[in-house]
Chain A
Amino acid sequence: MHYAVKEVQVKERYPDVTIETVCRLLIPPIQLFGLYVIAHGHYSPGGGFQGGCILGASFIMMFIAYDIGEVKRRMREKLNTILCATGVLIYAGIGILCLVLGANYLDYGILHQILPAYPAKARALGTFGIEIGVGITVMSVMISIFLNIGTAGEHEGEPE
Chain B
Amino acid sequence: MTTQSPALLIIVPLISAILCLLLGLIRRGLCYPFVVAVLGVSVILSFDVMGTVLNDGVIRYRLGGWDPPWGIEYMIDHLNAFIAIIIASISFVVAIFSRKSIEHELAKGKIIYFYTIYLLLFTGLMGIVVTGDVFNIYVFLEIASLAGYALIAIGRDRAVLASFEYVVLGTVGACFYLLGVGYLYSVTGSLNIMDLTLRLPELYHSKVILIAFAFFMVGLALKIALFPLHVWLPDAYTYAPSTVSAMVAATMTKVGAYVMMRIMFTLFEPYFSIKLLPVTTILGWVAAAAMIFGCIQALAQTDFKRVLCYILIAEVGYIVLGISVGNRAGFTGAVLHILNDAVMMACLFMIAGAIYYKTGMRHIYEFAHLHKKMPVTVTCLVIAAISVVGVPPTCGFFSKWYLVLGAIDARQWFFAFLLLASSLMVAIVFFKMMQTIFFAPAGESAHAHIDEPHKEHKHSRDEAPASMMIPIFIMVAGILLLGIFSGQIVSTVIQFTVPKGF
Q: How far is the CB of A6 from chain B (nearest CB, A)?
A: 16
Contact A108 B64 (CB under 8 A): yes
Q: In the bound complex, do residue A103 and residue B157 qualify as a contact, i.e. CB atoms below 8 Å apart?
A: no
The contact of A85 among B21, B62, B108, by CB within 8 Å, is B21
| B2 part of interface (Cβ distance < 8 Å) | no
CB distance from B401 to the nearest CB of A (A): 42
B4 within 8 A of A: yes
Contacts A104-B64, A104-B65 given: A160-B108 contact, CB under 8 Å? Answer: yes
> Interface residue count for A (Cβ, 8 Å)?
20
A80-91: CB near B (< 8 Å → 1, else 0) gives 011001001100
Task: Judge whether A95 is part of the interface by a CB distance below 8 angstroms.
Answer: yes
Q: Which residue of A lies closest to B155 (CB)?
A: A1
Q: Let me know if A30 is at the binding interface, CB within 8 A.
A: no
The dominant DSSP class at the B interface is helix
User: Residues of B within 8 Å of A, CB-based: how many?
Assistant: 20
A99/B4 in contact, CB under 8 A: yes
Smallest Cβ-Cβ distance to B10: which chain A residue: A105
Assembled-state Cα–Cα distance A1/B64 (Å) = 47
Whether A105 pairs with B4 at a CB distance below 8 angstroms is: yes
Interface pair B109/A158, CB less than 8 Å apart: yes
Which A residues touch B402, using CB under 8 A?
none
Within 8 Å by CB of A99, from B7, B21, B109, lies B7
Which residues of A are found within 8 Å of B21, using beta-carbon distances? 81, 85
Q: Is A65 an interface residue (CB 8 A)?
A: no
Nearest-neighbor residue (CB-CB) of B22 within chain A: A85
How far, in whole Å, are A96 and B156 apart by their CA atoms in the complex? Answer: 40
A160 adjacent to B107 (CB under 8 Å) = yes
- B18 CB → nearest A CB, Å: 5
A106 on the B face (CB < 8 A) = yes
- Say yes or no: B157 contacts A1, CB within 8 Å: yes
By the criterion CB–CB under 8 Å, are A106 and B63 in contact? yes
A105 in contact with B109 (CB, 8 Å): no
Q: Judging by beta carbons under 8 Å apart, are A92 and B11 in contact?
A: yes
Contact residues of B between 7 and 60, Cβ < 8 Å to A: 7-8, 11, 14-15, 18, 21-22, 25
Residue B140 is within 8 A (CB to CB) of chain A in the complex: no
| B61 at interface by CB-CB < 8 Å | yes
**Contacting pair A104 B61 (CB below 8 A):** yes
Say how far B219's CB is from chain A's closest CB, in angstroms: 25
**Cβ-defined partner of B15 (8 Å) among A96, A103, A104:** A96
Contact yes or no, A160 B64, CB < 8 A: no
6 additional A-B residue pairs with CB within 8 Å, beyond A88-B18, A104-B4? A82-B25, A85-B22, A103-B65, A105-B4, A105-B7, A106-B64
A positions within 8 Å CB-CB of B: 1, 78, 81-82, 85, 88-89, 92, 95-96, 99, 103-109, 158, 160
